[in-house]
Amino acid sequence: MTELMLILKNILLPIFIVMFIGYILQIKFKLDLNTLAKLNIYLLVPGFIFVKLYETHFIGKLFFYIIIFFLIYMFFLFLISYILARVLKYDKAKGTTLTNSVLFFNSGNYGVPVNDLVFKGDPLAMSVQVLILTMQNIFTFTYGIFSLQSLQVGKLKALLGYFKMPIIYALLAGVLLNYYEISVPQFIWTPMNYIAEAMIALALVLLGAQIARIKFKFEWSSSYLYIILRLVIGPIIALIIIKLMNIEGIIGQALFIASAMPASVNSSVIAQEYNNYPELAAQMVFLSTLFSTLTVTVVIYLSNILF
């Protein structure tokens, strides 16, 4: 119990303090969240991804293992979510919104700070989180948008739009420069570090501000079983996959913790944009983030025992 309290105090509490600051700032000043989101997506996250992947000493099969893990993990989450929707007799739109709340977990605004505090800035652990973050972005834009009928912009236009985002290019640049041991000039590396270091604080402030804007009304619903799926069943599935793939050490530990993150705000944003049960999606984000203080604490504790 003492160790659990230490994890809660030293890892989760600092994160929620910064989120709370963002929450208060949004209530008091009505921040321009669209501008902050663009700043995060188009500058801070790409800079962060580039720096962390460039600094990492890669293990040869790191990419392969993480991609395979991610695909298997997404498949089982989708399968269980689909079966649950059929059992509960939800219509397709509601089932899709709830499935997205399970598939789209907060690997950026929440997952990166948790990883940074748990592993004390270890570059290998952070590279695992960065790869999960990148794949989540790709997955959100492809499956997430298309599953909610992206007829307004057209599927081809939506897909091409993704290639305008700098995240994928930051990933490729970081990996290739690292692999070929190409040095980055100091006058470029210094500002890149400044950008990377700003990412975590702004991401947490933005998350708190986004939560403050969520219109939340609590009414018990069987839909909240999906929160259990995201926060409890999800990490159990991830642990089984990790053990079957024989992934050990920091990589296995980082993947296990990454799998425990709450629903991403993106699932709510997409539901609102395409008017697919937006209030329900917002509730899933809020409650999963709230309850994650307990579940993520337990997963971090277990990761120290199991790996």
Decide if 19 contacts 207 (C-beta within 8 A): yes
Q: What angle do CA 276, 282, 287 make, to 5 degrees?
A: 140
- What domain range is 145 assigned to? 2-306
pLDDT score at 158: 55
For residue 34, which amino acid is it? N
pLDDT score at 213: 82
pLDDT score at 226: 95
Q: Which helix (H) or strand (E) holds 102?
A: helix 92-103
Q: Alpha carbon 33 to chain centroid distance?
A: 18
| Long-range interactions of 153-158: CB distance < 8 A, separation 24+ | none
DSSP tag of 182: P
Q: Where are the beta strands (DSSP E) in the chain?
A: none
* Mean per-residue pLDDT pooled into runs of 10, the chain (307 residues): 86 92 94 85 88 77 86 96 93 87 91 94 90 83 56 54 76 87 94 93 88 74 90 97 94 96 81 71 87 96 94
Q: How far apart are CA 117 and CA 305, in angstroms?
A: 18
Decide if 84 contacts 90 (C-beta within 8 A): no
Q: What angle do CA 228, 107, 209 make, to 5 degrees?
A: 90
The enclosing domain of 181 has a CATH number of: 1.20.1530.20
Using CA atoms, how far residue 116 sits from 158, 192, 200, in Å, is: 33, 18, 9
Q: Structural domain tally of the chain?
A: 1
pLDDT score at 145: 55
Using CA atoms, how far residue 281 sits from 86, 204, 306, in Å, is: 18, 20, 33
Neighbours of 72 (CB within 10 A): 16
For residue 204, which amino acid is it? L
Length of the chain (residues):
307
Bridge partners, residue 263, by sequence: 105
pLDDT score at 157: 60
- For residue 27, give every residue at least 6 positions away whose Cβ sits within 8 Å of its Cβ, in sequence order, or none: 212
Task: Please tell me the pTM assigned to this model.
Answer: 0.88
For residue 96, which amino acid is it? T
Q: How far apart are CA 284 and CA 290, in angstroms?
A: 10
For residue 65, which amino acid is it? Y
